[in-house]
Amino acid sequence: MKKRVYYLFILVLFTNCETTKDDTTITDFGRVFVSSDTQSKIGIFNFSDLSNKTIVEYVTTSDAAEGIYYDKNRDIVYQADREHNRINAYSRLSTNEAGSGILPSAISTSDFSNPRGLTSDNNIAIVAQDASEDNGQQNGLFMYDISATEITLRNQFTVNFPLWDIQLVGNTLYAVEDESDSLAIFNNFFGNTEGAITPDFKIKLDGVVRVHGLFYNLENDLMIITDVGDVASGIEDGQLIVIEDFNLKTSVALQQVEKAIPNGEMIFIKGTNTLLQNPVDVIYHNAANRIIVAERSTNNGMFLSFEYPVQTDDTNEFNSSPLFSINYNGISNLYIDQ
């Protein structure tokens, strides 16, 4: 039976959203792009007018997607398509008229399977492949030359640890080591030749169970990590980890035998008020000083926004309620346009 795909343009006002605190002090929260692994959609949360928060949704041809990136200079969205194991480009996104829907303007070849994170910088994109039966239990990184009309494989690399989220900042690639408490850092990523590569170092995070999402803010030297905890246990033990002065703390940790940032040097957002069970991705809005999370398990998916925590001498743990929350089925990845 042929699969029918209907292309829609959906505009929804957030009139039913529950906010636990006044968020009106933010003058321009901007746009957040969202992937889903259960819906054939790209969602765009628009907070530029806080009295009229909206979401625009475009229906796509993929039933499941993970990593997402928006090139605002060229008005192109790139998305890791889990159903077809490729990157899709959607050009001139903002010019699509109501009801027109979107089709890819470019697609890559199916070089990877089980994609997770996607990161981009100018004319290249990198996809993280997590090991699975379909790819021979091989973890890898796939680098592409990208444009609005063409996506071409440039290099592919293998790594000896499971991957999830990745982020490229200049020439440095940050990667989470899935099923662990560690981050991997490749300092001169573009200097690698094709084949097996190893990170320059790994950093352990005390008090963390299983890292998934990451976001690094260069301006503030701020790293934020999501910890999905022990998902199989059924315990609501997801948490966010905020690491200020990340490079300094990393340098100190590398001098120690354990190569770990201690619990007391990090800030944790955790507890029943947070709604965090399985937070799979995170971003940080610098101007608004907000942390935005893709929570995959609670209500089958939620978009959550948290006030940035300020550590005191008394505690580095915050059982914070979200400032803003809305259900979004299958939410899997975030990108912020700021």
SS3 sequence of 64-129:
CEEEEEEECCCCEEEEEECCCCEEEEEECHHHCCCCCCCCCCEECCCCCCCEEEEEEECCEEEEEE
- Assess contact for 238 and 226: CB atoms under 8 A: yes
Positive or negative torsion for Cα 25, 28, 29, 35? positive
* Tens-digit pLDDT profile for residues 96-111: 764 457 899 999 999 9
CA distance 129 to 135: 9
DSSP 221: T
Who contacts 300 (Cβ-Cβ below 8 Å, separation ≥6)?
A: 38, 327, 329, 330
CA distance 90 to 102: 7
- Assess contact for 302 and 330: CB atoms under 8 A: no
Delineate the domains of the chain, giving CATH numbers in brackets: 9-337 (2.130.10.10)
Give the pLDDT score at 96. Answer: 74
Per the confidence metrics, is the pTM higher than 0.75?
Answer: yes
- Assess contact for 62 and 40: CB atoms under 8 A: yes
Give the pLDDT score at 172. Answer: 98
The length of the chain is 338
For the chain, residues with pLDDT lower than 50 are 1-27, 98-99
- Assess contact for 166 and 128: CB atoms under 8 A: yes
Give the pLDDT score at 29. Answer: 60
CA dihedral 105, 110, 113, 118 (to 10 degrees): -40
Within 10 angstroms of residue 198's Cβ, the number of other Cβ atoms is 13
CA distance 190 to 188: 6
* Tens-digit pLDDT profile for residues 175-189: 999 999 999 999 999
- Assess contact for 68 and 78: CB atoms under 8 A: yes
CA distance 41 to 331: 10
Give the pLDDT score at 230. Answer: 85
CA 164 vs. chain centroid, Å, equals 9
Within 10 angstroms of residue 47's Cβ, the number of other Cβ atoms is 23
Six token digits for residue 21:
């605190």
Find residue 141's DSSP bridge partners. 128, 157
H helix or E strand, kind and range, residue 253:
helix 246-254
Tell me which amino acid residue 109 is.
T
CA distance 332 to 218: 24
Give the pLDDT score at 94. Answer: 78
Three-state DSSP at 58 gives strand
How many angstroms separate the Cα of 30 from the Cα of each of 21, 46, 71, 72, 104? Answer: 19, 6, 14, 12, 24
Query: 272 φ, ψ to 5°?
Result: -65, -30
